[in-house]
Amino acid sequence: MGSLLQKKPEILSPAGNLEKLKTAILYGADAVYLGGQEYGLRSAAENFSRIEIEQAMEFAHKRGRKVYVVLNAFLHDEDMQGLDDFLAFLEKSQVDAVIVADLGVLRQVRKFSKIPIHLSTQASCLNYESALFWKEQGVCRIVLGRELSLQESSQIAAKAGLEVEIFIHGSMCMSYSGHCLISNFTQGRDSNRGGCAQSCRFEYSLERENGERSQGFFLSSKDLWGMRALPLLKEFPVHSLKIEGRMKSALYVGGVTKAYRAAIDLLFSSPNLTEEQIVHFEQELDKSVHRDFCTGNLLNSAGLESVYDERVHNGEKSDYAIAGMVLEVSQETNQMFIEVKNSFNLGQTLELLPFQGENIAFQAEHILNLIGKSLERTKPSSVIALPLVAGAEAYNIIRVRTQCN
Amino acid sequence: MQLVAYLDKDKFFPPSSFVKEVIVCLRDFSSRPVFAKEDLPDLYAEAQRRGQQLLLECDLLFNSEELERASAELLELESNTDCLRILDTGLARLLVEQIRSLQIDLMVNWGNHNSEGLLGWNEAFGSAIRRLILSPEISHSMLDGFIKKIPRQVEIPVLGALQVFYSRRLLLSEGKDDVQALASSEESAHKNFPFYQNKRGTFMDHVRDLGILDDVVNSFQGEQVWGRIDLRGRPSEVLWPLLERFWESRSAEDWLTFKEQYTRALFKGYFRQNKSSSLFRKLKNEHLEKQHDGFVGEVIDYTKKEYIVIKQPVWGHHLCEADWIEFLTPEGKKIGGRVRDLHKLNGHVLKDSEHENYFVMKAVKGAIVKSQLYFTKREEAPVVSSPS
């Protein structure tokens, strides 16, 4: 393992489907993680069929990016059937690694393939001895528990001689990952096989033993927002920064990936990030759907400030929404064709997110449907044509402000 | 089956006639500490006097700094125990490295639901493992399968509180004092989840206690399978004699008598059957799962009576004008039709859809957004014979 100092960490983005995978890569992800139809923890996500995995590999590898496939469910014996065949397929497809939590699955991977193995955060690896154990089992990278600081994570990498990956952004489990059976034993949905019912997001009334009563979302964690921790990466390097969110939108995937890509590139091409730059990137992150933010344990131990304890809205929110995604541009007709995800009106200001560089604000003028009819307002799940914005490309995200100051 | 039970703060030892081992939970090492380190020598002496083994449980996870401290302290305490029960893989590894002759009970009770994994733990730690402590999600049939393959003692919970949540964060109060509370949500049918917080984190139990002792009492002969009883916080002096009577008689009446005196509702968990697989499958919309044979693409715009837009993956079956097609709607309805007015997004007419990521065609009634489009058949152009 080479020295990590001054080496940019990998930005690892979620890919809930093929469209989001392309979005993540085009917006700057070094690697993406995705789930097949089985064996992952997001059963409700669209996930990838085998043909889609092959397409994903082709798209990513053509651009020098990596693809990791999650196999991080805790499987029962009967779930293991077919895993050997799936592993043979993944190996043939040249996936760059599989992400595994279960020692049984890990042993199957080693038995049936030579695919590199990353240990999932579900295994709650929190210390160097544990990391060494998993290294002995054949793991080459560990996705550390979100309970660790950046400093602790970096020290584990150095002491265990392993690649480490940490979560830098996104939703967080309140429990140690893999240490929550609420969903299993209250709703019959196995959270460790992809069925988490998110009971932690419920509002609870709490009666303490001293009789004190309160109401709130005390099991609901605020989202992780690691932008402020990035400057420490030069002192405490890690190999990979993971963005959570295979269930989230293309706007989230593209917007968040772009912000971290730009921040990391800037950090490693200058002495450090300035406060002004950090604020700028945080403002960009704020435009993707999120809960309230905290820095988790990256800088200090997460305290009550990381939890929705009061009777407040704890849902996901943003002042911006994805207006649509550019499907194609036609130089011939000087138009761009947009798949509309959220409605917007004629004359409304939109923002196009190029894959790199400053975002471009423009007004929605001359909205046409595909038979040339002018529209005053778009509707979701439709395809429309707008005058071409210079620099627009397929898979560019267009966002719209939903709240006015 | 053999039995192992937790000691409660009243230091009431269960009858040694049927409980062979007792578990001690100390502050700094347990999610539910009952004793201080100073209590351990006396407890150990009493266990020895009664002919019971004393086990010290550490069911916590540690970061690297805490790990070294915990390891050092546990090694000091080890002389007053018969065996350590360890959850943290790193801690287990470190302890075993430091004392080569040490045997531990490894807690693999979060996850680890397949025999391949359990064999893996067994091989990784080898003779350092005395027992594998299994998940409460294990069913009777799963356990039957495991014990045939795993050459180690295994342990399952058979009676008592069922911990379902472990967080490092202190969720009930800012301070590090122990706090207990009951939590309920209008969004859950279950009320009054017991929560307890100490400086090591916050933990939650199920609203009901697990009670499968009556299911297993006659099932597992010999010493390979151990059942764990946790009567902490329950009236142990009343309950232990009733349990002893049940263990001797193994009768349904005595189990009923015990249950009547038990202060909390009991349930079977997943022991009789693990139903989570079948329940979860119902959550998926099978109509949205793509069948690749003949799959063309997905409808992303349906403008009534006018046109539809198809998003076509690279592997999608290409369409030509007049091809017979079929749509599968998200509700599972099948709608037949033919390709008409095939063109690109910018209006250019297409001969076929090859090389297009998106194409437009005449709307087919009911082929709404998210419908899947499949190729059915192509009619060959009629052979036009040249005039002779």
A174 close to B (CB below 8 A): yes
Contacts of B206 in chain A (CB under 8 A): 185-186
> How far apart are alpha carbons B311 and B298 in whole angstroms?
5
Tell me, yes or no, whether B111 and B32 share the same domain. yes
Q: Residue B113: its chain A contacts at CB < 8 A?
A: 74-77, 102
Range of lowest pLDDT (A15-24, A37-46, A134-143, A170-179): A37-46
Nearest-neighbour CA in chain A from B260: distance (Å): 23
A261-297, pLDDT tens digit by residue?
A: 999 999 999 999 999 999 999 999 998 888 888 899 9
Q: According to DSSP H, which parts of chain B are helical?
A: 40-50, 64-77, 89-98, 115-125, 140-149, 213-216, 236-249, 252-261, 276-281
Closest in A124, A145, A193 to B280, CB measured: A193
pLDDT tens digits, residue range B168-224? 999 888 776 789 999 998 888 888 999 999 999 999 999 999 999 999 988 888 899
Residue of B nearest to A54 (CA): B315
Asked if A124 is an interface residue toward chain B (Cβ–Cβ < 8 A), one would say: yes
Determine the Cα–Cα distance for residues B188 and B191; give it in Å rounded to an integer: 7
Residue A346 pLDDT level (bands cut at 50, 70, 90): very high
Quick check: B4 and B14 in contact, CB under 8 A? Answer: no
ipTM: 0.92
User: Could you tell me if B92 and B98 are in contact, meaning their C-beta atoms sit under 8 angstroms apart?
Assistant: no
Q: How far apart are CA B321 and CA B343, in angstroms?
A: 10
CA distances from A106 to A37, A367, B92, B238, B340 (A): 18, 52, 20, 47, 51
Question: Does B252 share its domain with B297?
Answer: no
Same domain flag for B36 and B131: yes
CATH code where residue B299 lies = 2.40.30.10
Lowest mean pLDDT among A184-198, A289-303, A356-370: A184-198
B84 plus B156 within the same structural domain: yes
B118 and B240, same domain (yes or no): yes
Taking one residue from A and the other from B, the number of pairs with CB-CB distance under 8 angstroms is 278
B149 interaction partners in chain A (CB closer than 8 Å): none
Q: Note whether A11 and A261 are within 8 A (CB).
A: yes
Measured in residues, chain B has a length of: 388
Give the three-state DSSP class for B377: strand
- Using pLDDT thresholds of 50, 70 and 90, give the confidence band for residue B28: very high
Q: What residues of chain A lie within 8 A of the CB of B94, using their CB?
A: 129
- Residue that terminates a domain, selected from B230, B251, B280: B280
Nearest chain A residue (CA) to B64? A127
CA distance B335 to B366: 7
More confident residue, A2 or A324: A324
- The reply to whether residue A155 touches residue B63, judged by beta carbons under 8 angstroms, is no
Nearest CA in chain B to A204: B185
Check residue A306 and give its pLDDT.
84
Contacts of A381 in chain B (CB under 8 A): 300-302, 369-370
Tell whether the model's pLDDT for residue A2 goes beyond 50.
no
Q: Which residue has the tokens 């080496």?
A: A7
Q: Do A76 and B274 touch (CB under 8 A)?
A: yes
Q: How far apart are CA A196 and CA A41, in angstroms?
A: 8
Would the CB atoms of B137 and A184 count as touching at under 8 Å?
A: yes
Choose the weakest-confidence range: A47-61, A368-382, B267-281.
B267-281
Contact B90 A76 (CB under 8 A): no
CA distances from B242 to A220, A249, B239, B258 (A): 41, 57, 5, 6
Residues B74 and B105 placed together within one structural domain of the fold: yes
Residues of A in contact with B309 (CB under 8 A): 370, 383
Of residues B157, B170, B236, the one with CA closest to residue B201: B170
In chain A, residues with a C-beta closer than 8 Å to the C-beta of B139 are: none
Is there a contact between B117 and A102 if contact means CB atoms under 8 Å apart? yes
Q: Can you give the pLDDT at residue B293?
A: 83
Whether B268 is covered by a domain: the verdict is yes
- Contact list, B345 vs chain A (CB under 8 Å): 327-328, 330, 337, 370, 383, 385
Percent of chain A residues topping a pLDDT of 90: 70
State the smallest CA–CA distance between residue B183 and chain A in angstroms: 5
Inside any domain, residue B186: no
Local confidence band at A310 (pLDDT 50, 70, 90 cut-offs): low
- A216 vs A30, more confident: A30
Claim to verify: residue B254 and residue B304 sit in the same structural domain: no
Classify each residue of A93-125 as buried b or exposed e, where b means 16 or more C-beta atoms within 10 Å of its C-beta: bebbbbbbbbbbbbbbbbebbebbbbbbbbbbb
Cβ atoms of B339 and B320 within 8 Å: the answer is yes
At residue A1, the pLDDT reads 42
Do B171 and A332 count as a contact with CB atoms less than 8 A apart?
no
Domain co-membership, B258 together with B364: no
| Residue B198 resides in a domain | no
Number of neighbours of residue A92 by Cβ within 10 angstroms: 11
Model confidence at B388, pLDDT cuts 50, 70, 90, reads: very low
Task: Order the strands of the A204-208 sheet from edge to edge.
Answer: A213-216, A204-208, B179-184, B193-198, B201-205, B163-167
Q: Has residue B181 been placed in a domain?
A: no
Report in angstroms the alpha-carbon separations of A180 from A186, A195, B2, B279.
11, 12, 28, 18
Taking the Cβ of residue A343 and every Cβ of chain B, the question of whether any pair is shorter than 8 Å is answered with: no
Domain at B6, CATH number: 3.20.20.70
Q: Report long-range pairs for B218-222 (Cβ below 8 Å, ≥24 apart).
A: B218/B250, B219/B1, B219/B140, B220/B1, B220/B143, B220/B147, B221/B1
Q: Evaluate whether A256 touches A288 at the Cβ level (below 8 Å).
A: yes
Q: Give the span between the Cα atoms of B297 and A120, in whole angstroms.
A: 33
Task: Answer with the one of B230, B252, B280 that is the final residue of a domain.
Answer: B280
B307 belongs to a structural domain: yes
* A47/B contact by beta carbon, under 8 A: no
For residue A126 the two structure tokens come to: 């929190």
Whole-number pLDDT of residue B339: 95
The phi and psi torsions of B16 (rounded to 5 degrees) equal -75, -10
Task: Read off the pLDDT of residues A222-243 as tens digits, 9 standing for 90 and up.
Answer: 999 999 999 999 999 999 999 9
In this structure, are B147 and B253 located in the same domain? Answer: yes
User: Å from A286 to nearest chain B CA?
Assistant: 25
Q: Do the domain assignments include residue B192?
A: no
Instruction: Identify the three-state secondary structure at position B102.
Output: coil
Give the residue from chain A lying closest to B89, CA to CA: A130
The closest CB to that of B280, out of A43, A122, A179, belongs to: A43
Residue B176 lies in a domain: no
Q: Residue B25 — very low, low, confident or very high, per pLDDT cuts 50/70/90?
A: very high
Domain residue limits at B316: 285-377
Whether residue B153 is found in the same domain as residue B239: yes
pLDDT number for residue B281: 55
Q: Is A138 left (phi over 0), alpha (psi -120 to 50) or beta?
A: left
Average pLDDT rounded to a whole number, residues B118-142: 96
pLDDT score of A51 more than 60: yes
CB contact under 8 A, B345 and A385: yes
Among A103, A124, A333, the residue with its CB nearest the CB of B121 is A103
Q: Are A286 and A326 within 8 A, CB to CB? A: no
Domain boundary (B280, B300, B326) is at B280
Whether the pLDDT of residue A361 is over 60: the answer is: yes
Kindly identify which residue of chain A lies nearest to residue B289, measuring between CA atoms: A46
pLDDT of residue B310: 97
Residue A224 touches chain B, beta carbons under 8 Å: no
For A341, the closest chain B residue by CA position comes to B300
* pLDDT for residue A292: 87
Query: Looking at the complex, does the CB of residue A217 fall below 8 Å from at least one CB of chain B?
Result: no
Q: Lowest-pLDDT range, A21-30, A39-48, A65-74, A383-392? A: A39-48
Quick one: pLDDT band at residue A375, thresholds 50, 70, 90?
Answer: very high
Of the ranges B74-88, B119-133, B175-189, B267-281, which one carries the lowest mean pLDDT score?
B267-281
Contact A131 B90 (CB under 8 A): yes
Judge whether B195 lies within some domain: no
Q: Which of A30-34, A180-184, B101-105 has the highest mean pLDDT?
A: A30-34
* Predicted confidence (pLDDT) per residue in A89-134, tens digit: 999 999 999 999 999 999 999 999 999 999 999 999 999 999 999 9
For residue B124 the two structure tokens come to: 């990784």
Length of chain A, in residues: 405
B117 to chain A: which residues are within 8 Å by CB? 102-107
Highest mean pLDDT among B43-57, B209-223, B366-380: B43-57
* pLDDT, chain B, mean: 91
A332 touches chain B (CB under 8 A): yes
Could you read off the pLDDT of B316-336 as tens digits, one per residue? 999 999 999 999 999 999 999
Minimal CA separation from A1 to chain B, in Å: 21
Contact list, B274 vs chain A (CB under 8 Å): 76
- Whether residue A102 and residue B111 make contact (CB cut-off 8 A), yes or no, is yes
Q: What domain count does chain B have? A: 2
A13-27, B68-82, B274-288, B356-370: lowest mean pLDDT where?
Answer: B274-288
Shared-domain flag, residues B48 and B67: yes
User: Over chain A, what is the mean pLDDT?
Assistant: 91
Q: What is the nearest CA distance from B171 to chain A, expressed in angstroms?
A: 6
Same domain, B244 and B320: no
Determine the distance in angstroms separating the CA of B206 from the nearest CA of chain A, rounded to an integer.
8
